Amino acid sequence: MVEENELLDGAARVLAGDHSASMSHIAAGIGTSRATLSRRHATRESLLKAVAVRAIEVVDGCLTPADLPADADGPAFDAALEQLVTDLLPAVHLYGFTSRDATVLADPEFRAGIERQDQRALAFFEFGQRLGRLRADLPPYWIWYSLWGLLDAAAEGVRDGHLARRRAGHLVLTSFLSGTRASAA
């Protein structure tokens, strides 16, 4: 029997690649039967909501390194950034689902969760800019979107067998920093 979190993570992976996937397609994509999926989530809408709840919880946890104290220094920021990338990479399918699915985005509660996550990340990147660790000429939203774009590309590369999972975080971090690192850092 597939554990609930595994089922929801699998559904998010399928839905991140195909937002219109049917219950049958989702079940096949996670290696279970349509009947099993329907016993746990009677409707596609209830499955989408369960995936959204899981996504918000997981990404909230991944953002913990971004909650630095006000007196943190540059090396502390760098360590937190590396941890953030490491933590977010396995959750990219969940964020990809919640940030793009119309059903999720139409729900005020889920939208508020995504907005809260965005604000935590933006505050972290703005802090990195104030410390001189990130380029001040880039809007924080661009930095956040850039990170997710690289995480998404790495996840796709791993899924397609072109990148080794254990190297993906390093590739994301070095690519990200080459475009966002302040020249003095």
89-122: per-residue pLDDT in tens? 988 888 777 777 787 888 999 889 989 999 999 9
What is the predicted pLDDT for the residue at 101?
A: 76
Instruction: Take residue 49 and report the two structure tokens written for it.
Output: 């909501």
Mean pLDDT value of segment 34-59: 92
Predicted TM-score (pTM) of the model is 0.86
What is the predicted pLDDT for the residue at 97?
A: 75
Mean pLDDT of the chain: 91
Residues in the chain: 185
Residue 19's pLDDT band, with cuts at 50, 70 and 90, is confident
Residue with tokens 């490491």: 86
Distances in Å between the Cα of 10 and the Cα atoms of 43, 71, 93, 175 are 16, 40, 9, 27
Range list of H helices, the chain: 4-17, 23-30, 34-40, 44-62, 74-88, 92-98, 102-106, 108-130, 140-159, 165-180
Write the CATH number of the domain with boundaries 52-180. 1.10.357.10
